[in-house]
Structure 1
């Protein structure tokens, strides 16, 4: 934002907690290979394209009427997809998981209440807190960016937050939390009646043996698991996020949602995709193979990739990561510089896209033998 625009913004009676902060925004640069925002880069299967097209065509004939305010059929489909004994009354959805998280803070955060999360983590969390006038508490992780059950629970007992956001797999590091962390945080929040949210946006990409926090829902009234269809289902452009929780949590969100917040087109699109989950999850398996390939090749270059349960890989060992970012960008490949010291993040794309990234990085390292920290 220009200085002139900033001065004009500050002339408005803006809420004080919004002054001086910047909106969320990853760089939107038109280059041939875009591996910076963790999109599903694989083409949508044609059978799914056709199913969505037909579903939207049918929905279009009724667009003069409001959509189903309770999106019952979609919630039933989501419950069937998740399994774990969940039913329609356990599911809720909104326009992307960001709106789901916002609604959670509208219901359980707000003035005089607080949100605790553990940076480095998803950069929208403090912005969602500001937008709902919820105090943001930045916790801490170990030096290797891990989060232990002991540390996390101690911080919850210390701060007694209204809400805790646990990102698993974590963004930007990509590593899933052990369920012992979720259990410990939930128990530590008992005395403060803390709502515990596990953000599982990348759950479908998890390594074999990684358990979902969905297994912990029975008997835990204050636990919420959020998901998205943007990643595994390749619907980033459709905006559909959802959660699973106790029915009374869903009732709470009804108090803050806008009327008819999910359009008929969104509902139709999501249901058509869920009906073809098998075809879409085949792409997920290929993305996981490509992610693992990236990890292997980065290690061979002398870099230090994090263990990834997601569709991206964060890697360290660079003296000047932004110089590497700029060099790759000049070569037509954009990845993500999150400002994490010595690190960059790359989305696992198609085989050809990943080859271009790896070749470009290998060439840079060959031309700059002092680029690595070790």
Structure 2
């Protein structure tokens, strides 16, 4: 169990411990459930109103009256939610993969395992793999030949990483994710119906007798530093060049990145979103849940796409978008309001059609 004093917590957050600095805390808690040895997370006055009577210490907002809350000690910070990042890291004990290489792991003799690295049970590591210092590889993970993984990586159980993938330092990947699978790329001898309708917007010619031929994926995947990837996400390797993910980008569960996709730095890709083949996202792009970007488009820096939205054309930097096809959010909200007014408008039109005309009044 991880244990800290209130003074140690305050020091880690760059803040001052108020009250009894020697309070011993064994974990974090929501305000209403806090025990005497837990740090209550009360980020606002409304949250503090639910504070457990047993709570002795809390993380509070700036200028909070901690004494009035009946606490023995507190740490007050300008943005408590941001402090939750380093604070949760302090108390996170991790998956406890263990030290060293488990006897059941299968590691090619040419692989290089860094100092302090841990390799769990039934891990398979291929030829010429390089695993950085202090990396942790969870059970049943497979790493293909020629792959390089940076220092301080944390790869949870059951991750599959293909061959010749390059991953930076401080990488975190949750279970079930596949990195470096083949791209979904197939071609026909003549133009496929999908190509035809893209050009004609609906019309298609004769396509009988055509068969799909695989285009093999000769590229791989390159991932920057401090990237986090959630569970059951799939990242395809590139056709010729690599699929790329920039530094500090965070990717949620069930996200699909297709072949040749390029994702910039500090992006946020939420659950069940997707980026189709050969599309490029700039830096700090946010894709909300179940949203998507079609193939071969470019999305500028700082674009935000709302949930279930679909980007189908190039988008300049800084736009906030919604809908399918995605349009600026202000216009989208106006359209939604107009759509809600349609039933009333239909009634008004029906009433007007039934009203007597001026001709009938004069007859």
Q: TM-score range by the shorter chain?
A: under 0.3
Higher helix share: 1
Higher strand share: 2
Bigger Cα Rg: 2
TM-score scaled by length of structure 2: 0.22
Higher relative contact order (CA 8 A, sep 6+): 1
